[in-house]
Structure 1
Amino acid sequence: MALDEMLRKFEKLPGKISFLYENLETGERVGYREDQPLMAASVIKLFVMASVFDQFEKRKLKQDFSLPIYKKDCVPSCGALTYLHEGICVTALDLVTLMIIFSDNTATNVLIDLLGMEEINRYIESLGFKNTRLNRKMYDVEKSAQGIQNYITASETGRLLTMMHRGELVSEAASSQMISILKNQQLCSKIPFYLQALEEEPEIAHKTGEDRGITHDVGIVYGKVPFLVCFCGNETDTPAFERIMGELSLELYKKVNGTGQK
């Protein structure tokens, strides 16, 4: 798809739209307002995961460290922990997995408490990211009402995923484990929507984010030629943007791989 065709799709949408595409073999890259900071919704969980794996690598936190989850820890909306029995024990790695594949808000908040918000932001800054910031926990209604939000950019999120793909985030082993978790994503109505119908369905390592007027999906599509796509939107028509995510992901896949339908 030509650049001007992509831009026309995004320019028809209301609100703030960012997009990044990169062919991870050739380096071909197309961006659309990819450096503008946007409210992160659950995409910030990618950066929490990276920070947790950094703690694993430094042996400051063990993957099998186990702790109970109580109702006082639980917040509504995405995930499973809120609906399980009082005092269920989970490991630190379980929390990461739940945070990513089910976007579990309770798991995320427990991890933020374990590491500390300042430590997570120090790690984000150590990677050279200037516009990505964790400012509050998930479902903190009071801080959200005060305008305190978490922020990402498509470009910095894309760089994090590229580092992971290349084995450069934390370590080669940690990068591989994080990609494996992302490939088990259970929220698949955006980037994967049409790709799931392909004869050879590609693996997709990705993370979504949703809130009122906010919709994101960022990840790597592992066809014969892997490519990165980051779709980020604030104050937009979420159903319309999500249709574009699915359609454009399929078109880009065909462009770099060629494919057939089931």
Structure 2
Amino acid sequence: MIEDKLAQVFAEAGCQGSVAVLDIDGSGQVVLDGDELVVAASTFKIAVALELFCQGAEGELDLAERVRLAPSQATPGGQGFCIFEDEAEVSLRDLARMMVTISDNTATDVLIRRVSVPRIHARLAALGLDRIRLAGTIQEEFDAIGRDTGFAGWAEMTRAMREAGSPRDADRIWERALSTPSLRPGHITSATAGQMAALLRMIWRDEAGPAAACAAVRSVIGQQRLTRKIATGFGDEVRVAAKSGTVPGCVSNDAGVVHFPDGSRFAVAVFTRPTGPGPQTPQADSVIGTVARLCVEHLRRLGR
């Protein structure tokens, strides 16, 4: 059975995984542990983008509204506005683009505050997707991790890691963080592979909100170039629009849509995590593409 093969592939890569692949224009699906709640990492940003563009399409906000960002407002993330030295002004629409295309955490937190977590949850619940749950802003999540690790917050924890006597000492701090309640599903922003794939299927079918909003979400996801996880399983003739999510040592995820030249389309969510404590294995990223390909090939064979 395809599910047994998927479990074997995950095991050989040294990780555990859940996957859901749905035929967007048909009823075919492949699901392995699709109802398991896992740490979503940045894949949840798809839901934030949907709420923003829905509120824009419904006339509740102006997507061209300008937002001024100061360096002091930045949420850590390694790229994007958090490395700016000067103030920047950008529209809500382009904040969404930054959030999805380079996974900018500052942009994400601005948008979460603008559209609100309750509104995001309400829209998801109306779609039957009540297991995609945000715990708050990314900064709030980071600070909770820092406190659970024994520091005043994220800034103090990361400073301790930078000032550690050796790389191994810094790793020990992060390993402590990985074992805290704040990095467990249900405490941090979480989702299931099944519901994430279902959300993508609805967005691609214009069923997640106004058609203009769904089209806008599809556009920004299609512009994402920061990571290639699902895409590694397919050739250049196959177009992949996806949003990844990574927490080092915790999860490596990807969620997106695979488009074939013949018009067939598949919503894919693959979430992986290590089988035990320690750093994520390199195979955990590459296995996402392998699993996606196996599932899609299976559905395409059934459809012939």
TM bucket (normalised to shorter chain) is 0.7 to 0.9
Is the CA contact 2:28–2:299 (under 8 Å) kept in the aligned structure 1?
A: no
Is the CA contact 1:185–1:207 (under 8 Å) kept in the aligned structure 2?
A: yes
Q: Deviation at 1:7?
A: 2.7
Amino acid at match of 1:28: G
Counterpart position of 1:246 = 289
* 228-237 vs 8-17, greater mean Cα deviation: 8-17
Matches of 2:38 and 2:130, distance apart in 1: 13
- TM-score under structure 2 length normalisation: 0.77
**Higher Rg:** 2
Residues 256/16 of structure 1: CA separation in 2 closer, same or farther (3 Å cut) = closer
Q: Deviation at 1:142?
A: 2.0
Is the CA contact 1:40–1:152 (under 8 Å) kept in the aligned structure 2?
A: yes
- How far does the alpha carbon of each residue in 1:219-243 deviate from its partner, in whole angstroms, 9 at most, with x for none? 1101122112210123454522212
Gaps of 5+ in 2: 149-181
Secondary structure of residue in 1 paired with 2:138: coil
Amino acid at match of 1:207: K
Matches of 2:132 and 2:13, distance apart in 1: 24
- How far does the alpha carbon of each residue in 1:5-24 deviate from its partner, in whole angstroms, 9 at most, with x for none? 22321344556521011222
How many equivalent residue pairs? 255
Secondary structure of residue in 2 paired with 1:219: strand
Instruction: Check if 1:222 corresponds to 2:222.
Output: no
Q: Between the two proteins, what is the percent identity of the paired residues? A: 24
Gaps of 5+ in 1: none
Between Structure 1 and Structure 2, the one with more helix by share is 2
Amino acid at match of 2:46: L
Q: Deviation at 1:139?
A: 4.1
Counterpart position of 1:232 = 271
Matches of 1:23 and 1:119, distance apart in 2: 28
- How far does the alpha carbon of each residue in 1:43-66 deviate from its partner, in whole angstroms, 9 at most, with x for none? 111111111112112211111000
* 17-26 vs 63-72, greater mean Cα deviation: 17-26
Is the CA contact 2:30–2:299 (under 8 Å) kept in the aligned structure 1?
A: no
Matches of 2:233 and 2:18, distance apart in 1: 21
Q: Deviation at 1:255?
A: 5.6
- TM-score under structure 1 length normalisation: 0.88
Is the CA contact 1:214–1:238 (under 8 Å) kept in the aligned structure 2?
A: no
Counterpart position of 1:168 = 207
Counterpart position of 2:96 = 96
- Give runs of aligned pairs for residues 75-94 of structure 1, distance below 5 A: 75-94=75-94
The RMSD of aligned alpha carbons is 2.2
- How far does the alpha carbon of each residue in 1:110-153 deviate from its partner, in whole angstroms, 9 at most, with x for none? 11121222222222223222221111211432223442411111
